[in-house]
Amino acid sequence: MNTIQELHEKFGHTVILITHETETARHAERVIHIKDGMVEKDEKVKVRKKAKAFKK
């Protein structure tokens, strides 16, 4: 998640991530809910989760 956030913050890249995990979605600036192929709602994440840098 850290790499994805860095791509957006440093280079302005937009990343589309599809997940069923609410915790993972909290890393985004916004979440778009889709049901039966239609946008059900589009919401900004109020408290965005910041990813930790990966360490080996």
Note the Cα 7 to chain centre separation in Å.
Answer: 12
pLDDT at position 49 is: 83
Name the pTM for this structure. Answer: 0.70
Residue 39: what pLDDT? Answer: 96
Q: Write out the two tokens for 19.
A: 């997940």
Q: What angle do CA 5, 49, 23 make, to 5 degrees?
A: 105
- From first to last of the 56 residues of the chain, give the pLDDT tens digit: 888 888 888 988 888 889 999 888 988 889 999 999 999 999 999 988 887 766 66
Residue 39: in which H helix or E strand, if any? strand 38-44
